[in-house]
Every structure is written in C-alpha cells, then in structure tokens.
C-alpha cells in the first residue's frame, strides 16, 4: 500500500506558527504541492509579505525574499524584469495587498508582470492584532472598528479580484476558498493554472483565497468556517474573473 499523504518536498519540517483553524497552512501546502508537481522548485523565488505570513519563508524549502508591507509585487517585478527565467510568486494578505500595497499590485497587474500572487483574504489584519482591513465585512467588529465596520464612514469592503479584472491588460484572476474540502480541490487547480500561465510567460496571475482567522474573529475554528461561508462567500463570489485569451 502506498502512502496517500506525504509532505511536499517544497515544505520544510518546521511546525508553523499559525493558530488552530487558520487556513494559511493549507494554502502553503497547496502552493508547495503545485511547485512540486510542476518541478520548478529549483527556479522558484517566493516573496513573503508583512502580515501573519511574514515567516512563510521558514516553511518553504526554496529561495525566498522577505518584503516590506505591500511591496512584494514591486520586488517580484524587479526579479522578473532582470531574471525572466525564474518563477516568482508573492504571498500576501489583505492588509498587505489591499491596503498599503494597493498601488504596487494594481501597477504590477496592469503592466502584465509575469509573476503569480497568492492573495489570502481573511477580512482582518492578523499580525498586528485584529484591526480592520479593506476587506473587513460590513458591521464586522475589529479592534479598530469596535462598533462594527461602518460602511458610511469607511466604505464597502474591496473586492480585489473584481477590481483587478477590470484592467484591460490580459491576466488570470480568480477567487477561491479553502474553508471546505470541495473548495480546496478547486483552489489547488487554480493555483496550478496560475503558475502554468507564468511558466508559459503568458500573463500576470492572482489567486484570491477566502480564508478564516478564528483568533481575531473571536470564533472557534468550526464557527469561523461557518461565518466565512455565510458572511464572506455571498459577498466574495468564487470563480474565475479573468482568463487570458
């Protein structure tokens, strides 16, 4: 009998620092599996964000750079422009990508930079302790929206996948989730597709992944999954928003 569950070569033996019920671990694993399957470990460079995944570089076994808040797409641009043969991905959360790094992601996508972005949307700033993110849901309580997100004051949550697919430059833009096994299978397919587009030198690719943060949401892991399904998924619709011609 062969082993059905084995650790991808691209993942390290370290135990992650992520909280119970956090989905970063799943997403790391999907990325690692895809890189294994595509056989590109030796020419891949990952870029870690500022956010809960700041230490992501510890959990992968290939070359990594650690960025400043939001600047990962600029760093990825720098790499791809001088070393187009390398496979580059940024791994970014919602505070990093949709707030402080909005300029960098939009321009990188619009230039059609041929790297891949894994965008983890869990509707809250994790690392800094549960503050409001651009993707925080209406009325969602956070440490900086203690009475709930007041959309009259701070606007509606930003739908990154939709926003980026409005650009005329070709790209692969999709939104997936990992809160249920059926979503995980689809998410992995999407991540693989994103890397394949990059390998073929075709376009910029971004996979938004709707995720959970039980710790900062103040919910148990099970409750968090329920909340993500009932509150986030109706607003953040899953699917492919843009596919290159």
Partner 1 sequence: MGKVLMKGNEAIGEAAIRAGCLNYFAYPITPQSEVAEYLSRRMPEVGGMFLQGESEVAVSYMLFGASACGERVFTTSSSPGVSLMSEGLSYISGAQCPAVFVNIMRGGPGLGGILPSQGDYFQATKGGGHGDYRLLVMAPASVQEAVEMVMTAFPLAEKYRNPVMILGDGLIGQMMEPVEFPDDLASEPVNKDDWATSGMDTRKSENRNLVKSLYLSSEELNKHNLHLKAKYDRMRREEIRYEKYNIDCDYKALIVSYGTMSRVCKTAIDNLKKEDFKVGMIRPQTLFPFPEKAVNEAASKNSCKIVISIEMSMGQMVEDVERAVIGKRPVRWYGKCGGDVPTPEEVIDVIKSMVKEA
Whether 63 contacts 31, CB under 8 Å:
no
Whether 42 contacts 62, CB under 8 Å:
yes
Q: Which stretch binds partner 1 (CB under 8 A): 63-71, 132-140, 187-195, 202-210?
A: 63-71
Between 21 and 49, CB nearer to partner 1: 49
The rounded distance, in Å, linking the Cα atoms of 70 and 63 is 20
| Degrees to nearest 5, angle at CA 105 with 65 and 143 | 85
In this structure, the strands spanning 171-177 and 204-210 are parallel
Is 44 a residue that touches partner 1 (CB under 8 A)?
A: yes
Between 85 and 168, CB nearer to partner 1: 85
Is 213 a residue that touches partner 1 (CB under 8 A)?
A: no
Between 67 and 207, CB nearer to partner 1: 67
Task: Choose, by CB under 8 A, the member of 75, 118, 161, 164 that binds partner 1.
Answer: 75
CA distances from 142 to 26, 121, 135 (A): 24, 15, 12
11 bridge partner residues: 60
Is 85 a residue that touches partner 1 (CB under 8 A)?
A: yes
Is 53 a residue that touches partner 1 (CB under 8 A)?
A: no
- HSE value, Cβ hemisphere, 13 Å, CA-based, for 16: 21
Is 52 a residue that touches partner 1 (CB under 8 A)?
A: no
Nearest approach, Cβ of 22 to partner 1 (angstroms)?
19
Is 43 a residue that touches partner 1 (CB under 8 A)?
A: yes
Q: Which stretch binds partner 1 (CB under 8 A): 101-109, 133-141, 143-151, 237-245?
A: 101-109
Is 82 a residue that touches partner 1 (CB under 8 A)?
A: yes
Structure tokens at 159: 């739908």
- Cα dihedral sign for 137, 141, 145, 149? positive
Is 64 a residue that touches partner 1 (CB under 8 A)?
A: yes
The rounded distance, in Å, linking the Cα atoms of 144 and 134 is 12
Q: Which stretch binds partner 1 (CB under 8 A): 57-65, 127-135, 179-187, 214-222?
A: 57-65
Binding residues (CB under 8 A) for partner 1: these are 41-45, 47-48, 54-55, 57, 60-68, 71, 74-79, 81-83, 85-86, 103-104, 107
């Amino acid at each position: 009998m062969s082993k059905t569950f084995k650790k991808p070569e691209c993942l390290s033996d370290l135990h992650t620092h992520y909280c119970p019920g956090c989905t970063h671990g799943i997403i790391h694993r999907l990325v690692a599996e895809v890189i294994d399957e595509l056989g590109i470990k030796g020419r891949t460079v990952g870029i870690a964000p500022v956010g809960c995944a700041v230490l992501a570089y510890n959990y992968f076994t290939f070359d990594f750079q650690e960025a400043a808040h939001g600047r990962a797409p600029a760093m990825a641009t720098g790499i791809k422009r001088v070393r187009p043969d390398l496979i580059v991905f940024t791994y970014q959360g919602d505070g990093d990508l949709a707030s402080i790094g909005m300029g960098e992601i939009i321009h990188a996508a619009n230039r059609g930079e041929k790297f891949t972005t894994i965008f983890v949307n869990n509707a809250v700033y994790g690392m800094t302790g549960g503050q409001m993110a651009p993707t925080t849901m209406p009325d969602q309580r956070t440490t900086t929206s203690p009475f709930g997100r007041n959309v009259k004051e701070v606007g509606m949550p930003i739908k990154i996948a939709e926003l980026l697919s409005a650009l005329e430059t070709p790209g692969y833009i999709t939104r997936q989730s990992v809160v249920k096994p059926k979503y995980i299978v689809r998410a992995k397919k999407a991540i693989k597709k994103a890397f394949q587009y990059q390998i073929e030198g075709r376009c910029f690719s971004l996979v938004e992944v709707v995720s959970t943060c039980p710790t900062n949401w103040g919910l148990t892991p099970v409750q968090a999954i329920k909340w993500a399904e009932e509150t986030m998924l109706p607003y953040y619709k899953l699917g492919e928003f843009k596919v290159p011609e």
